[in-house]
Structure 1
Amino acid sequence: MSHTTLPKIELHMHLEGAAPPAFVRGLAAEKGLRLDGVFDERGHYAYADFNEFLKVYEAATAVLKSPEDYRRLTREVLARAAEHGVIYTESFLSPDFCGGGDVGAWRDYLAAMQEAAAEAEAQDGITMRGVITCIRHFGPDAARPIARCAAETAGDFITGFGIAGAEMVGRPGDYAWAFDCAREAGLRLTAHAGEWGGPDMVADTIRDLKVERIGHGIRAIEDLALVDQLAEDGIVLEVCPGSNVALRAVSSWQAHPIEKLRARGVKVTISTDDPPFFHTTMTHEYDRLADVFGWNEDDFHDLNHVALDAAFCDAPTRAALAKRLDAAR
């Protein structure tokens, strides 16, 4: 079986960050909006470093202005993921970009995304769940209304809460109120950490926000005692190797610590993060991991079961997905 058709579970993908450049350009043209500095001469997203990446990301996202825009985006993103064998994806959704943190406006956006997700499940066989994320560099006060949006819409579709954005702004504990609010609403928790911040950022995030998953987490490798603690506690890392290489969080695929983390017993999973920004797909991630680390179909099967066990979905959904993973063996 090729890596393209292998069924896959993806836990770390930003909805807006998965918008193909052509989709964003088309939407901008429909609205008569200019997108200066967003694309290079080949039509790809243009940025030189992580801070520029954030600016370009937010400029591209500004084209998305209505629930209908998000319905179309969701449908496009899920269709593309399904082409690469993804049968379940957890997408980070940001009410900051969907009504500015107003619960009523957020409900309208959410309804549109759910409609597209239901259509994708019926037509493309891909199941989506939403993980609401506050944006770290917007600050702790801005995280509170986002957590309220999450708490008010928690349920079968919105199943998790997290934090994304510029990791070096503030400390994890500054956002504890938002995470406490989400936890009390029954949402499961993840947080970006250890992509740019060192092992201390990973440790502080787990301690202060009480998360069960960490987005990226790769710099934990610099503290082997922390690595062993992650393994012992069953903390799952949502690793996005292609993203880490593209943004130069690591120097190369060969230098990526995912193999060392896994060999030491840490639960790792594979995701694309913001696939068109990093010229990647889930197929590409699997191909490179196979080339660089010699991972085979058994490795990928195990990884997908780790991801499925860590997924923020209910038991019936998990059981149905497990059957699809096992049927492909």
Structure 2
Amino acid sequence: MDGLPKVELHLHLEGAAPPAFIAGLAKEKHLDIAGVFDERGNYRYKDFWDFLKVYEAATSALQSPRDYQRLVLAVLEESAKSGVVYCETFVSPDFCGGRDVGAWKEYLHAMQEAADEAERDLGVTLRGIITCIRHFGPEKARETARCAAETAGSWIVGFGIAGDEKIGVPKDFRWSFDCAREAGLRLTAHAGEWGGPESVRDAVHDLGVERIGHGVRAIEDLALVDELAETGIVLEVCPGSNVTLGIYKTFRDHPIAELDRRGVKVTISTDDPPFFHTTMAREYDELHKAFDWDEGQFRRIARQSLDAAFCDADTKARIGKLLEA
């Protein structure tokens, strides 16, 4: 399945940073973050909450727009190897300029330049979804939403929320989502990973999102599954992430196939690929082995993913031709 063109909708930019890239940046800046790596040079963490700490520690090596420009190129080089032709990545002004609009615009310009270079040289189209960080609280989320509203456009196409699902509830962030919606941004939210099916229902009802990041715990409430299918809410499913973090024991135990069978629009993504030792190619391979999905199934899901993408119609039409190859 390596040769199939792929669409990825759920990728954290900093979380996709190759560990060697982060280690190299830290060395350049004389930062001691050796504790985030194991003896093989991979990221080291114990559980999801430790993962969040390691993620933020690794991100501390990214300190300038130039660093993020280099990061985008490093990440998209990896995406291209798996055949990704379109990707949406989560970026946050919390890590890029401290939620100051002026500083954020400098970071954004650098990322866009790198994305343009990668599209020309690697054939991967990238768009950004600004995310607030749930465990940083609603007030900081408002600042992030203002950054999003100020830079909404052809490259920044969406707004969402990530972080610790066990802190606060979706309605705490309603103002930020309303702000982003009024600026013309499309909406997604992480839910149904650690918070259970009720977190999915709350994100849909209280924030008015059209996509859910993960959302797989919805399978525990079949009435919710029916609602998702009927309303067309799209799930940004990251099977390898869920298995590595222990939400499901194996790919065969993962509910993506059952959700798909019940009519829910599922997509396939990697989340934070080097943290979870995965790639888009590996996700396809594991799903093929677990559920005997064939090329036709993967092409259907890629098309479904593009339909759910937040980019403009012209971009969708161009990427659609690549999916038909």
Specify the TM-score bucket, using the shorter chain as the normaliser: over 0.9
Indicate the percent of aligned positions where both proteins have the same amino acid: 67
Post-superposition offset of 1:4 = 1.8
1:194-214 Cα offsets, whole Å, 9 max, x none, are 001111110011000000000
**1:105-120 equivalence runs, <5 A:** 105-120=103-118
How far apart, CA to CA, are the structure 1 residues paired with 2:113 and 2:34?
32
1:87 is matched with 85
Give the letter for the 1:47 counterpart: Y
Alignment of 1:61-72 (within 5 A): 61-72=59-70
Task: Give 1:254 deviation, angstroms.
Answer: 1.4
Give TM-score scaled by structure 2 length.
0.99
Residue 83 of structure 1 deviates from its aligned partner by: 1.1
2:249 alignment partner in structure 1: 251
What whole-Å deviation, never above 9, does each CA across 1:172-220 have from its counterpart, x for those lacking one? 0000000000000000000000001111110011000000000000000
In the alignment, the residues of structure 1 paired with residue 64 and residue 201 of structure 2 have an alpha-carbon distance, to the nearest angstrom, of 38
Pairing partner for 2:132 from 131, 134, 140: 134
- 2:222 corresponds, among 221, 224, 245, to 224
Paired AA for residue 149 in structure 1: C
Residue 196 of structure 1: aligned partner: 194
Measure how far apart 1:310 and its partner are: 0.2
3-state SS in 1 of match to 2:140: helix
Superposed CA RMSD in Å reads: 0.5
* Residue matched to 2:49: 51
- Separation in 2, partners of 1:112, 1:248: 36
Aligned with residue 18 of structure 1, among 16, 19, 26: 16
Q: Which residue of 2 aligns with 1:184?
A: 182
- Unaligned stretches of 5+ in structure 1? none
Deviation at 1:36, TM superposition (A): 3.3
Tell me what 1:125 maps to: 123
* Secondary structure at the counterpart of residue 324 of structure 2: helix
Partner of 1:308 in structure 2?
306
1:299 aligns with 2:303: no
Distance across 2 between alignment mates of 1:299 and 1:238: 16
Which residue identity lines up with residue 35 of structure 1 in the other structure? I
Gaps spanning 5+ residues in structure 2: where? none
Match of 1:145 among 143, 146, 161: 143
CA distance in 2, matches of 1:36, 1:167: 28
TM-score normalized by structure 1?
A: 0.98
Partner of 1:165: 163
Q: Deviation string for 1:217-255 (max 9, x for gaps)? A: 000000001000000000000000000001112222111
- TM-superposed CA distance for 1:296, in Å, is 0.5
Q: CA separation in 1, counterparts of 2:237 and 2:167?
A: 21
Describe the SS at the equivalent of 1:132.
strand
Hey, what's the Cα distance between the residues in 1 that align with 2:77 and 2:112?
14
Q: Which amino acid aligns with 1:23?
A: F
The answer to whether structure 1 residue 318 and structure 2 residue 316 are counterparts is yes
Pairs within 5 Å for 1:264-283: 264-283=262-281
Distance 2:65 2:298 in 1: 36
2:240 aligns with 242
Aligned length, in residue pairs: 325
Which amino acid in the other structure matches residue 117 of structure 1? A
Distance in 1 between residues matched to 2:222 and 2:32, nearest whole Å: 48
Quote the offset at 1:79 in angstroms. 1.2
